[in-house]
Structure 1
């Protein structure tokens, strides 16, 4: 779709509902470009900051548990922030929520960049920064279906996911080398600047929209949280999709152990910080590949059929860690795991279609909070276990547990789709 003519974006065009949409058509939508660029830029800073924090904490403490605990702080605040703060994306204008969160996070990360910041203060600031990501992510997730609809939403989500994973790959892979040159505190300062840049992009590229309309007085945050939980967990189909999303708690665990895992390759010629970055970049690299192939060459219906198999692929390669393979094999296994993680595209698209537009913010926020919580808890438990048994057996056990859960979910999803098809056939008979 040409960008020079005044046409409706793919999300509002009939073609999006009847034919496959191309990446070019999606990129032609100005608001999507703003959401896309802003997210990618701030994420690049975040990945640099995560490597900086991992290196900084491990250098200070030499403890796998302490490193995993700080890394887990990038997930755990969503236990609170998701259910209670995500409703802000339905209560207030979504662009305004995103801008406010960007500005506050920029200020908090700037304080983190002050050299000599006490360890406890650093942890508190990390907690607050991630807490603010809950309403931001909910607002962005709820806004995207308003910008893109139909298969355009799937293609836009795939493009955004590929970009995010590519940014993570670049940020993690280059992060070790960059931090070796500029130091962890300057890396945090760069992260603060990316939040400001994201806010400027949103102001210039995303139009204002009114807050989601509510009948009568606006409900309280607790009422919205309760209603969102009933919506998400009251449907068998939505419950299954949510559990598919939360499965990443297993295959994301190795990233939290990247620094201590890198230390096991002491014989390698590369510095430990560089190996840490390569390990953290492996899964995002696989996800870029998987998301491109899954969205570009697989039809929407087939994506749903393959979702269970892809979910199992996201965890199975991790089992190879049990035999303590060389670095190149570990990297290849983690890349393959990332390819399997592309199943999240199908789960996300199915979830969007099943949730009313005016309740997407709260619904996405609840799912996101659980998503971050299971990852944070998994990483924390993994760090605790790695202190005693080493990172290799812990990663292998995560793979075994993930494959088992993915197989159960695949069976439940197949049964759910058969029930839906049977009901549809009976209704049209």
Structure 2
């Protein structure tokens, strides 16, 4: 795929020639597959022990919700410590926590506590990695690299979800958690060997202001995002993902409602990532860079409509198709992420990414939790339809605001041109 996908003159092969990026790419791919296997394992473990769609959705939501605190409060560590060191330390910590979660005798509540700690450790890792990427690749290479990471992560999720049901059925949920622990250890090794150390970005270096306290830097990053309409709108588009992932959180109950077992559940959970991988492939390959921003809104709207059609209670095969089409709508994220990151100065980049990530993952956790309650009251199909309908409506509202912002920007550019 890297040989044929291009964006302008930059191919996926071009970005993979960068040794540091290649190391991060491989580390991400294998640990993401492990994460999805662990999510399937956790869902099966809790559903088998409790037979409760609410508790299953709550446990799945715990893979997202702690980032509400972690993203905002811990991401700034990557602006104050070497980012490579932060990533290695977080991987080692998560390997240990997942190893403890794999102990069969551990009760569900203890597994949940360790899960929260592991998710918290992921916040500074993600911020450090995202903040580092613009230093490794610039311009269109950065956008293409983002597209490659998106496709690879979705394919890793596809492998984890599609194979997760089969793997968990064979090796059991606890062994699945152990596999995830190994992937974090491998990721730490790859980053240690493949990514070179860099100095700590100093707060205030761009403006000449004195370095702030940690809490003050968090507040400054929030103000930076809040004062820029473009960043606010991009964040809102990104946070819509909290509705698109609702089907994943209630997949066990949905699969049961259509008469499917663990394998069917895994296929349902894999449908969204598979669609996103294909949608991102087409987006990067077919949509010129100059017009990608215009397609953010329409594609986001299109992602919600297939889920809304689940109100008609389709069977397993049609549900997989609808969930995959919805996943393709998430391709707009490949444009949202680079625009946001590049609009933030380096010395505040990790903290601003943390603000975005905390909202993104928290929105996913809240969306999944609400979906679980709706599924318990009305059934899984109505819960998925609710998520899709609300997502489409919110995306429509944001699209109107985005278009108005674009028109104002063009008008301002025209005025400046005339004045010059």
Length-normalised TM-score, structure 2: 0.95
The SS at the match of 1:86 is helix
- Structure 1 residue aligned with 2:48: 59
Show the 5 A alignment for 1:195-210.
195-210=184-199
1:218, distance to aligned residue in structure 2 (A) = 4.2
- Backbone CA RMSD of aligned residues: 1.2
Distance 2:402 2:175 in 1: 46
The SS at the match of 1:207 is coil
1:352, distance to aligned residue in structure 2 (A) = 2.2
In the alignment, structure 1 segments of 5+ residues that lack a partner are 1-15
Alignment of 1:126 with 2:119, yes or no, is: no
- Structure 1 residue aligned with 2:219: 226
- Structure 1 residue aligned with 2:34: 45
Distance 1:219 1:384 in 2: 43
- Structure 2 residue aligned with 1:406: 395
The SS at the match of 1:164 is helix
**Deviation by residue 1:250-304 (Cα, 9 ceiling, x = unmatched):** 11111000010010122x5xxx111111011000000000111101121112211
- Structure 1 residue aligned with 2:340: 351
1:422, distance to aligned residue in structure 2 (A) = 1.2
1:191, distance to aligned residue in structure 2 (A) = 0.6
Alignment of 1:189 with 2:178, yes or no, is: yes
- Structure 1 residue aligned with 2:133: 144
- Structure 2 residue aligned with 1:257: 250
Length-normalised TM-score, structure 1: 0.93
Aligned residues: 408
The SS at the match of 2:201 is coil
**Deviation by residue 1:75-96 (Cα, 9 ceiling, x = unmatched):** 1101110111000111111111
Alignment of 1:320 with 2:313, yes or no, is: no
**Deviation by residue 1:360-392 (Cα, 9 ceiling, x = unmatched):** 101111000000011101111111121111111
Which of 372, 383, 387 is matched with 1:394 structurally?
A: 383
Alignment of 1:237 with 2:230, yes or no, is: yes
1:428, distance to aligned residue in structure 2 (A) = 2.0
Distance 1:339 1:188 in 2: 28
Alignment of 1:154 with 2:143, yes or no, is: yes
Distance 2:43 2:185 in 1: 24
Native 8 Å contact 1:91 1:218 kept in 2: no
1:351, distance to aligned residue in structure 2 (A) = 1.1
Native 8 Å contact 2:134 2:342 kept in 1: no
Distance 1:42 1:243 in 2: 27
1:30, distance to aligned residue in structure 2 (A) = 0.4
The SS at the match of 1:75 is coil
- Structure 1 residue aligned with 2:287: 298
1:353, distance to aligned residue in structure 2 (A) = 2.7
In the alignment, structure 2 segments of 5+ residues that lack a partner are 1-6
Show the 5 A alignment for 1:321-336.
321-336=310-325
Distance 1:285 1:60 in 2: 29
Native 8 Å contact 2:79 2:203 kept in 1: no
**Deviation by residue 1:212-233 (Cα, 9 ceiling, x = unmatched):** 0234864222111101100111
Distance 1:376 1:249 in 2: 7
